[in-house]
């Protein structure tokens, strides 16, 4: 258990053995303490109202991804790689592997943040967490979105490709509405408000029927009901999508995501990238 060092991960491993193997509790969700950014195991009563996720063995995901073959690599960022996998029952999954590019402490923090945020959400326009693996590294397992990201369809492929239907206006409208519904759910319907902080076309994934799903909650923050905003440093996110009050003052609330969603809409309508070759932001265009 190379990366199991913090108390939170030790408790997660304990929960894995006690709950997933024993069957007493099928949820195991971490919650963030708004006072000190630490995590705690949610109570059984709270967990009973939440969607379940399970523990995967390393062997399962190793076989599913064909030993993390480069041919199965579908996405790569600064701190993670995403692989397509197929389970024994034929279910397609996406395996997010936290990479060695960051410290073990950063891995653990990102891992717990994403589980603590997305582990209890349930909405058709938010990517569903299927489970996790903490053997031989840290892994998050999600449903596989067969059409990839909106960014890929807008910028990386041509409409003439026979295997990819063009992004017509009806499809773009559907994607915009679905993404808005997902954001509304995170901001207004969740028991605890979630601010995503990195809404962009590459984080909006698409199902086979072009239903959008908000993904990548590595930067997400809880916003307690009694708080009007978070004050955050350092500033993290994607240039071209950062709201002015966040970029200049570190102020984070629902408007942070709404601003980024507006940039996303401009990108959908214009087909232009959020930042062009001259480094001009799309919202300034």
For 221-276, how does the pLDDT look when each residue is reduced to its tens digit (9 = 90+)?
877 666 555 556 565 656 666 666 665 656 778 888 998 999 999 989 988 887 76
Q: Give the 3-state secondary structure of residue 39.
A: strand
pLDDT of res. 95: 97
What pLDDT band is residue 176 in, cutting at 50, 70 and 90? very high
Q: Which helix (H) or strand (E) holds 253?
A: none
**Binding-site residue ranges:** 96
Check whether residue 187 and residue 138 sit in a common domain: no
How many folded domains does the chain comprise? 2
115 lies in the same domain as 79: yes
Are 70 and 182 contained in the same domain? no
Question: How far apart are the C-alpha atoms of 222 and 207, rounded to whole Å?
Answer: 27
pLDDT at 250: 65
Are residue 23 and residue 127 in the same domain, yes or no?
A: yes
pLDDT of residue 77: 74
Residue 3: CA count within 13 A, CB half-sphere: 24
pLDDT for the residue numbered 141: 95
Tell me the average pLDDT across 84-93: 96
Residue 47: its pLDDT value, please?
39
Q: What pLDDT is stored for residue 206 in this prediction?
A: 96
Report residue 73 as tokens.
């690599």
Query: Do you find a cis peptide bond into 36, omega within 30 degrees of 0?
Result: no
pLDDT (0 to 100) of residue 164: 56
Q: Which domain holds residue 200?
A: 150-284
The pLDDT score that the predictor gives to residue 253 is 82
Task: Kindly state the tokens that stand for 60.
Answer: 């399962």
Domain termination site, one of 119, 143, 167: 143
Report the alpha-carbon distance of residue 184 to residue 170 in Å, rounded.
21
Q: What's the rounded mean pLDDT across residues 1-26?
A: 45
Choosing from 110, 135, 198, 257, which is the catalytic residue?
Answer: 198
Highest-scoring range by mean pLDDT, 118-122, 154-158, 231-235: 118-122
Per-residue confidence (pLDDT) for residue 147, from 0 to 100: 92
- Judge whether 1 lies within some domain: no
- Which H or E run contains 51? none
Residue 116 lies in a domain: yes
* DSSP result, 80-146: EEEEEEE-TTS-EEEEEEE-TTS-HHHHHHHHHHHHHHHTT---TTBPPEEEEE-SSS-EEEEE--T
Provide the pLDDT for residue 178.
Answer: 97
* 35 and 124 co-located in one domain: yes
- Cβ partners under 8 Å of residue 123, min gap 6: 181, 182, 185, 189
159 with 279, same domain: the answer is: yes
Q: What is the pLDDT of residue 231?
A: 58
Examine residue 2 and state whether it is found in any structural domain, yes or no: no
CA-to-CA distance for 222 and 158, rounded, in angstroms? 38
Which of residues 143, 170, 203 is at a domain's end?
A: 143
Do 252 and 154 lie in a common domain? yes
CATH number of the domain bearing residue 216: 1.10.510.10
Listed in sequence order, the residues at least 6 apart from 278 whose beta carbon sits closer than 8 Å to its beta carbon are none
Which segments are annotated as binding site for ATP?
96
Is the same domain home to 134 and 196? no
CA-based radius of gyration for the chain: 19
- Do 79 and 218 meet the contact criterion of CB atoms below 8 Å apart? yes
Tell me which range, 161-170, 194-203, 216-225, is most confidently predicted by mean pLDDT: 194-203
Of 33-47, 103-117, 263-277, which gets the smallest average pLDDT?
33-47
Listed residues 110, 143, 176: the one ending a domain: 143
Whether 127 and 195 map to the same domain: the answer is: no
User: Are residue 62 and residue 161 in the same domain, yes or no?
Assistant: no
187 compared with 24, residue with greater pLDDT: 187
Catalytic status, residue 37: no
Say if residue 27 is in the same domain as residue 66. Answer: yes
Q: Tell me, what's the pLDDT at 126?
A: 95
Q: Hey, which residues does 81 pair with through a beta bridge?
A: 76, 97
Whether residue 125 is found in the same domain as residue 69: yes
């Amino acid at each position: 258990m190379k990366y199991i060092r913090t108390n939170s991960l030790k408790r997660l491993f304990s929960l894995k053995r006690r709950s997933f193997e024993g069957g007493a509790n099928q949820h195991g969700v971490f919650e963030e303490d708004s006072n000190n950014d630490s995590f705690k195991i949610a109570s059984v009563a709270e967990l009973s109202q939440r969607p379940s996720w399970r523990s995967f063995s390393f062997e399962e995901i190793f076989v599913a991804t064909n030993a993390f073959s480069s041919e199965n690599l579908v996405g790569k960022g600064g701190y993670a790689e995403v692989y397509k996998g197929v389970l024994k029952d034929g279910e397609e999954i996406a395996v997010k592997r936290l990479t060695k590019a960051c410290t073990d402490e950063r891995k653990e923090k990102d891992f717990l943040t994403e589980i603590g945020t997305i582990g209890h959400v349930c909405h058709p326009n938010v990517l569903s967490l299927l489970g996790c693996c903490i053997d031989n590294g840290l892994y998050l397992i999600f449903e596989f979105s067969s059409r990839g990201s909106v960014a890929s369809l807008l910028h990386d492929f041509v409409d003439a490709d026979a295997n990819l239907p063009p992004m017509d206006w009806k499809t773009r409208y559907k994607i915009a509405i679905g993404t808005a519904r997902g954001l509304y759910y995170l901001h207004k319907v969740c028991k605890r408000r979630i601010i995503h902080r990195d809404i962009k076309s590459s984080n909006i994934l698409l199902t086979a029927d072009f239903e959008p799903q908000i993904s990548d909650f590595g930067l997400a923050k809880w916003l307690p009901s009694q708080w009007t905003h978070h004050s955050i440093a350092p500033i993290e996110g994607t240039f071209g999508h950062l709201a002015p009050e966040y970029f200049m003052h570190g102020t984070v609330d629902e408007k942070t995501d709404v601003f980024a969603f507006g940039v996303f809409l401009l990108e959908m309508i214009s087909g232009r990238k959020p930042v062009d070759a001259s480094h001009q932001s799309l919202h300034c265009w």
